[in-house]
Structure 1
Amino acid sequence: MPTRTSSALVLLIAALGGAATMVVELSAVRLLAPWFGTSQAVWTNVIGVVLLALSIGYLLGARLSSGARVERSLAFVLFAAAASAAWIPFLVPHAARWFLPPELALDQAAGLLRWGSLATALVAFLPPALLLGGVAPLCVELLERGAHRGAGSSGGRVLCVSTLGSLAGTFATSYVLVPEFGLVRTFLAAAAVLAVLGLLAAWRGREARLALWGLVAGSAWIAGDPRRPALAEGARLLEARESPYQSVRVVEFTGPRGVERRELQVNEAFDSFQSVWVKEPGLVGDGVYYDLFALPPWWGSATSAWHVAVLGLGAGTTLRVLEGTLPSGTRLDALGVEIDPVVVELGERWMELAPGPSRRVLGGWDARAALAHSAASFDQIVLDAYSNQMEIPAHLCTREFFQTVREHLVPGGFLCVNVGAFGLEDPVLVAVANTAALGLCEPVLAFAVPFSRNVVLFARRERPLPDPAGADFAPAPAGLARLARRLALPGVRKRFEGDAAAPLLTDDRCDIELLQLRSIERARFEPSGGGP
């Protein structure tokens, strides 16, 4: 075999092929997120598809390596991988819409989330991963033929540089490429690198010319713009960003009186938003769970200052609700923790999330880590940390976490937890509420939010919660009084005392994602469990 392709070039191809594989795998979940979320089920589907594709690709590479012109085969595989990688961000929106029609509401689409993400991953990600799997065997063959090395020596070197390339691709994708350039440009950059490697591997005139024409054709194909989930009627896009965690956008709604509402949406494809802004601080309106967070300051007879920590701050909706509803003369002293710094940036720019002496905002912090490192105690702790629509982070719903929360509440302090659930018998709600009751050593009262699929949990350290039938349950302001009267109606609340025999979530064993799957399956087959 002529040594037209040097050993250094072969090893470079193997390394960059490994890097491209991780770019495809890690970016795949982010690309699927606007339609299917980023749950463990979606990750499992993507990883499974990539592993299946790589195994087939290894066989393909082994088959091609027995040919006479291995360089040409390697060039073909690289360029085909480049073309298929470039198509991914433009193919996924169409495939996702096919397997998960956008007009479906969340409870209707629940049964399609798992298998729709698998089908979309097979269509979009199997071809490039399969082709990338063929790179390593061909590189091993080229080294063995060109440098007259043994199979073990050649294979070991290729595996080494390929794994190092995968390592570099892992960090580059998460920390540089996606945050700095976005998903589309990340895929296009990977495709361009693979195409250049294909040109170098071809080396000879005819193959290089064919590859070059193919690169031009591929560039023409990808010149369009990918379709993201459509905006609602009457909405205007203010800004869209790719963060290290998710796709984020801010949309604005106008009415007869001008701008009426802004929503911050993350990976949304159905009928939800992550944060909402209205012109004046205070209650947002019917069907919005944030309003319930305004009740504890009145129940707790807040005086000069009300100290609150919001874990999962988002763009600051909870703070605006509290600022507009606190008793007269009460100052809000707030700590907000948000893991996604891009969400904080957009909140500051579009939703009046301005940090100040009495409003500390920790962007880029995990909620549990921030609480554990805080020496402060609070009158109210709000837990509203979610990934996508209904995915509760496992470490934020365990008994040990709620024990930490108790340590940071003053006597008489309140914990408020937003739980996405389909009614008061939802498996997720039952497990989280029971775990909170056991971790806090206090009863938990769950209220189904009117006109919503949210349930808000309330617990109070060393003090009784107000009785929904009592006179002190409804605060004085008209809006809060009306909300409290709705919560006092029969059938919209449930009390959890903490039952050791009931579902319990711990750091050692937290099957929250399995419970979430059961929740959406229950909503699919038992419409009556869908809540108020």
Structure 2
Amino acid sequence: MSENHVTRKQLLIVAFVSGAAIMTIEIAAARLLAPYFGTSLLIWTNIIGVVLLALSAGYFFGGRIADRRPHVRLLFTLLVAAGAAGIAIPWVVRPIARFVTLDALLLQSGSFFIFIASFAVTLLLLAVPLCLLGMISPFIIKLYSIDQHRVGESSGTVFAVSTVGSIIGTFLPALFLIPTFGTNATITSAGVALLAVGCWGTLHSTATRTAALLLTLIASSFAGSAGIRATSATLYEGESLYHYIRVEQGTDGSRRLIFNEGLGFQSEFHPDRILTGNYFDYYSTLPIFFNSGRKLNVLILGLAGGTISRQLSHFYGDRLHIDGVEIDKKVIDIGYRFFDLGQKNLSVFNEDGTVYLMRSVKKYDIVIVDAYHEELYIPWTMTTLEFWRLVSEKLSPDGIVAMNVIGNPDTKLVRAITNTQASVFQSVFTAGAGENNLNTTVVSGNRVFFSDDLKYDTAPEELWPLIRYLTSTAESVLPDPGGPVLTNDKAPVEFMTDSLMLGQDGA
């Protein structure tokens, strides 16, 4: 094409590709940052804020440059630059994130550090490519309407086509590209598409265009295969629709399932023992609150790799039938592969926990809520008054509900959850989850569970120390009419958790 001529159809192709690239990079950026910062509301706030900031700067400067130098070659040069900057993102994220010494500071500085550090990293990663992409739209509008006076119609057409591209760039990565090829390859594909269109417009011979594109594809192919946070102890590293996932193995053969930034772990497996020494173990004491000969239906919301189901099956066998609900299909597969998931008395359901409860007609004697959307954050939807009412409907008359909450019983988070439960259940108890553990075990239902005449000599002897500690630390929670009640309208669980981690709980 000539220096100053391009067809309107070609300009609309540029608008479509640039619109798709913007949303592809934005969607994939959240997954790219997850291994280092998680996927909390703070991270999405930073990503959206940086994207809007970069685009607004691009619109401003792009409009000025388009008025002064409305040259076709310059438009395609901007595309090439944006594509190159996009392809660089997967290569530079790891050194940039490591530069801020994340691993050493996360637990010390809590959410404030996560917010500041993730904003800085997001700005460094996305500002240049998205600013360049922001410059494309005013440039296209200028060239599209240069020979006519119907600027309104021209700009409307360009924005409509660009928005269609953005729609494709929103759904395609989430539903196909990221689950199939991974985050690195998804971002790289957006950069390659921009480079391909840019080379088509700036290079004149077909041979030169083809050579440039082939070199780009070869160089960028390595980005998709690079490990994200793998170490010598990593047995598995991958991505799902919900998480960046790692399986780490210790020198003793133990394994841990880790999501995202790795502040904690979701499942634990030891080849030579059942008990882990962590809060998981206390769920194995729950059947003592029922007659020893009674068969029990157990529901686990947040099955993960199956640590809890494995322990319950080991100690009680076919006395229990366990239904385990896990939203992430890839996590279920990892459970079978690395964590001995698949006990004979276990039925696994790949489903959202709340949706499962809504459609289930089954009554359960024990309901265990162990779902975490981050290592530290309980999904707020599983803390509300509406959720506990739903759980209550699926509970047998003498059934028991148990969950683990980070913090001691006096923290705002634990008090809010237990006071909400106390609005639904007749009895709510808090108990310690180990002398060296910062967690609280919350037990609730419609009868008294901890009493002086509780008999546990029929329980496996290995569990007796856990039972003694649980009963000795149990305290009844009375409803507080003036206290917080979490609802679907207001449940600031993330902020309560952040305040706790920062030591600013103020309870």
TM over 0.5: yes
Letter in 2 for 1:464: V
Deviation at 1:164, TM superposition (A): 1.0
Q: Is the 8 A contact 1:250 1:264 kept in 2?
A: yes
Report the alpha carbon displacement of residue 163 of structure 1 after superposing the two structures with TM: 0.9
User: 1:128/1:474 Cα in 2 relative to 1: closer, same or farther (>3 Å)?
Assistant: farther
Hey, what's the Cα distance between the residues in 2 that align with 1:74 and 1:355? 60
CA contact (8 A) 2:313 2:343 kept: no
Deviations 1:301-345 (A, max 9, x none): 24252211111111111100101122xx75221111111111011
- 1:88 shift after superposition: 1.2
Question: Is structure 2 residue 228 aligned with structure 1 residue 228?
Answer: yes
Contact 1:19 1:170 in 2 (8 A): yes
In structure 2, list runs of 5 or more residues that go unmatched.
Answer: none
Residue in structure 1 matching 2:447, options 463, 473, 478: 463
Structure 2 equivalent of residue 135 of structure 1: 136
Of 515, 520, 527, which aligns to 2:496? 515
- 8 A contact 2:196–2:213 mirrored in 1: no
8 A contact 1:316–1:353 mirrored in 2: yes
Q: Deviations over 1:451-487 (max 9, x none)?
A: 3332221112x220113x6553676433211112333
Distance change >3 Å, CA 222–CA 360, structure 1 → 2: closer
SS of aligned partner of 1:66: helix
**After superposition, what is the alpha-carbon deviation per residue over 1:103-151, rounded to whole angstroms, capped at 9, x for unaligned?**
34624554411211111111111211111111111111121126x3521
Q: Tell me: CA distance 1:306–1:280, structure 2 relative to 1, closer, same or farther (3 Å).
A: farther
Query: SS of 1:240's equivalent?
Result: strand
Tell me if the contact between 2:203 and 2:209 (Cα under 8 Å) persists in the aligned partners. no
Aligned to 2:44: 43
Between stretches 101-110 and 38-47, larger displacement belongs to: 101-110
Partner of residue 277, structure 1 = 269
Deviation at 1:277, TM superposition (A): 1.9
Is residue 346 from structure 1 mapped to residue 357 from structure 2 by the alignment? no
The equivalences for 1:63-142 within 5 A come to 63-104=64-105, 106-142=107-143
> Following TM superposition, by how much is the alpha carbon of 1:355 offset from its aligned partner in structure 2, in angstroms?
7.0
Distance 1:331 1:361, change over 3 A: same
Q: Does structure 1 residue 393 correspond to structure 2 residue 413? A: no
Q: 1:486 aligns with which of 466, 469, 480?
A: 469
Aligned pairs (5 A) from 1:206-221: 216=215, 220=219
Match of 1:316 in 2: 306
Relative distance call for 1:145 and 1:139 in structure 2 (3 A) is: same
**Does structure 1 retain, via aligned residues, the 8 Å contact 2:301–2:371?**
yes
Give 1:447 shift: 2.5
Match of 1:359 in 2: 346
SS of the residue corresponding to residue 103 of structure 1 reads helix
Asked whether the 8 Å contact 1:89–1:184 carries over to 2, the reply is yes
8 Å contact 1:262–1:277 — kept in the other structure?
yes
Measure, in 2, the Cα distance between the counterparts of 1:388 and 1:473. 35
Q: Does 1:505 align with 2:495?
A: no
The CA distance in 2 between the partners of 1:221 and 1:161, in whole Å, is 28
Query: What CA deviation, in whole Å up to 9, does each residue of 1:369-392 have, x standing for no partner?
Result: 101100000010010111121122
Q: Structure 2 matches for 1:412-423, cutoff 5 A?
A: 412-419=398-405, 421-423=406-408
Which residue does the alignment assign to 1:57?
Answer: 58
- Other-structure match for 1:182: 182
Alignment: residue pair count: 505
Aligned residue for 1:319, secondary structure, equals: helix
What is the TM-score when the length of structure 2 is the normalising length? Answer: 0.92
Distance in 1 between the 2:211 and 2:479 partners? Answer: 67
Say yes or no: does 1:172 pair with 2:158: no
Letter in 1 for 2:397: P
Preserved CA contact (<8 Å) 2:39 2:374: yes
Give CA deviations for 1:200-257 in whole Å, capped at 9, x if unaligned: 2325469x969976994896588466553353xxx632222211111112222343xx
Q: Is the 8 Å Cα contact of residues 336 and 360 (structure 1) preserved in structure 2?
A: yes
Superposed CA offset, 1:4-51 (max 9, x none):
322222111111111111111111111111111111111111101101
Q: Cα RMSD over matched residues?
A: 2.8
Aligned to 1:240: 237
Q: Verify the 8 A CA contact 2:82 2:128 in the aligned structure 1.
A: yes
When residues 521 and 218 of structure 1 are mapped into structure 2, their CA distance, relative to the original with a 3 A threshold, is: farther
1:78 is displaced (CA, Å) by: 1.0
Question: 1:73-125 CA distances to partner (integer Å, 9 max, x unpaired)?
Answer: 21122111111111112222222222243234624554411211111111111
Percent identity between the two aligned chains: 31
For 1:368, the equivalent position in structure 2 comes to 354
Q: Is the 8 A contact 1:75 1:198 kept in 2?
A: yes
Distance change >3 Å, CA 73–CA 282, structure 1 → 2: same
State the partner residue of 1:9: 10
Q: Secondary structure at 1:440's aligned position in 2? A: coil
- Whether the 8 Å CA contact 2:234–2:246 is kept in 1: the answer is yes
Q: TM-score, normalised by structure 1?
A: 0.88
